[in-house]
Amino acid sequence: MPSAAELMRKVKEQVRQVDPTEVHDAVENGNGNRPVLIDVREQTEFEDGHIPGAASVPRGFLESRIEGSVPDRSQPVVLYCASGNRSAYAARTLSEELGYEDVRSMTGGITLWKDRGFDVEVPRALTTEQRSRYSRHLLLPEIGIEGQLKLLDAKVLLLGAGGLGSPTALYLAAAGVGTLGIVDDDEVDVSNLQRQVIHTTDRVGDSKVDSAEVSVHAINPGVEVVKYETRLDASNIMEIIEGYDVIVDGVDNFPTRYLLNDATVRLQIPVVSASILGFDGQISVFKPYDGPCYRCLYPTPPPAELAPSCGANGVLGVLPGTMGLLQATEVVKLVVSTGEPLIGRLLLYDALATSFTELKVRRDPDCPICSRDPGDISAEEMGVFPDYEAFCAAAG
């Protein structure tokens, strides 16, 4: 049997190797054929400092995770470790057993890279508790540590701790969204508990923002909850929403939806908007200037008799759970910048039929709000729509 040293020498003869300077040049001045850099050291070594832009695939997980980082086997790959030994073994596995066509191992590893004076990125680390709590996110290449850090830094505002806001708040808290703002001026009523799962029977009579905070912290004490025990209106909207990264809209009336639209277009904050009635729900993402806004979709609200609220008409208790979690999913995608957010698309859900219908939503070139520069939208015109006075009078 060969000694460990002999085996290492043999493996290094079998695999292609590349000098750190050549890797540095390819990455810095990379043209179309820029290699994917894979750090095959242990996660903790990666977190102590790695080559900028490198992805972490520890050698022990190489076979199971490499496709997440390098799905295309013809793509050039450069592997590195601390000194060039583990990456040589890993390179042999990728080229001989997994069929990767252009694999090289970086000689001298990150030690030689550093000696040459090239940059090393030291990522912000998660605590041991956070690594464990978010471990299922960290395993997803689409989220990983970078995505989890984005979630931890994110500020998400929930309009309402009601049917839609309840499941959204619970799952966003669980996902590690760092700051959750909650706007609601209501108190928990026993009739809410059929669907507003963030509240509990023993908290009937408490304010909804306080009750929501208790549940959020029970799931994840690391989340900062900012409570706004008020109704969103023209006098407070700019002050409340400014500084949030994403807004989750579950408000139950049209005047506030138009007001919210206009203010978020002005501040360029994306809104994940859903509504529910009976057994039907709809959801879309309005990302100002990237896609249509709420007014592009609905230029004017329906008359009051066609705009019933859930209180008057009933709603399947599970339905806001389904729609709220679709909203939570869109929030995570927007924060992490992954996937295809529901921008320019309206998804309709019919719970009785168990059917989804997707409709296209176009930007209206004549939209009274988003066809203009954000700075040109004045405070006076925000939330105003034709027949506003009559609508509000009829709606009581």
Partner 1 sequence: MSTVKIPPVLRSYTGGEKEVDAEGANVGDVLRSVATQHPDTQSQLFAETGELNRYVNVYLNDEDVRVLEGLDTPVGGRDTVVILPAMAGGS
CB 70 within 8 A of CB 29: no
Burial zone of 20 (CB within 10 Å; 0-12 exposed, 13-18 middle, 19+ buried): buried
CB of 306 to partner 1, least distance (A): 5
Q: Is 183 in the site for partner 1 (CB under 8 A)?
A: no
Exactly one of 61, 118, 298, 388 binds partner 1 (CB under 8 A); which one?
A: 298
Q: In the complex, what is the shortest distance from the CB of residue 234 to partner 1, in angstroms, rounded to a whole number?
A: 17
Does 162 interact with partner 1 (rule: CB under 8 A)? yes
383 makes contact with partner 1 (CB under 8 A): no
Question: What is the nearest approach in angstroms of partner 1 to the Cβ of residue 343?
Answer: 15
DSSP state of 41: S
With CB under 8 A as the contact rule, the residue among 179, 214, 267, 279 that binds partner 1 is 279
Binds partner 1 (CB under 8 A): choice among 109, 178, 291, 301 = 301
Q: Does 206 bind partner 1 (CB under 8 A)?
A: no
Q: What are phi and psi of 49, to 5 degrees?
A: 150, 130
Closest CA to 261 of 231, 225, 281, 291: 291
Contact pick of 107, 196, 211, 261 for partner 1 (by CB under 8 A): 196
Least CB distance from residue 168 to partner 1, whole Å? 11
What one-character DSSP code corresponds to residue 304?
A: G
CB of 261 closer than 8 Å to CB of 294: yes
**Closer of 59 and 195 to partner 1 (Cβ):** 195
Q: Is 151 in the site for partner 1 (CB under 8 A)?
A: no
CA distance 378 to 265: 11
| Token pair in block for residue 341 | 């957010």
DSSP state, residue 94: I
Q: How far apart are CA 147 and CA 142, in angstroms?
A: 7
Q: Say if strands 77-80 and 103-106 run parallel, antiparallel, or are unpaired.
A: parallel
- Residues 247-276 touching partner 1, rule: CB under 8 A, are 249-254, 257, 274-276
Residues that bind partner 1 (CB under 8 A): 160, 162-165, 192, 196, 249-254, 257, 274-280, 282, 297-303, 306-311, 313, 315, 320, 346, 348, 350, 353, 357-362
